Amino acid sequence: MAYVISDECIACGACAAECSVNAISEGDGKYVIDADTCISCGNCANVCPVGAPKAE
């Protein structure tokens, strides 16, 4: 089950730097996760200061 980034995202980039498979990229006002690439490791959720990445 891939992670998704909610509207709580503050676009700090912490999640993208932590993603081991480069599934996270900067979107329009927030970061986005490519569901086909995401391995559901949870690293993004662990480093996010606002808890924006959620398991879908």
Arithmetic mean of pLDDT, 7-26: 98
- What CATH number did the domain enclosing 8 receive? 3.30.70.20
Domains held by the chain: number: 1
Residue ranges making up the domain that contains 25? 3-55
* One-character DSSP codes across 8-32: T-----HHHHH-TT--EEE-SSSEE
Rounded CA-CA distance 44/41 in Å is 8
Position 1 confidence tier, pLDDT thresholds 50, 70, 90:
confident
3-5 and 24-26 beta bridge pairing: unpaired
pLDDT digits (tens, 9 = 90+) for 17-45: 999 999 999 999 999 999 999 999 999 99
Judged against a pLDDT cut of 90, whether residue 55 lies above it is answered with yes
Rounded CA-CA distance 28/55 in Å is 21
**pTM to 2 decimal places:** 0.93
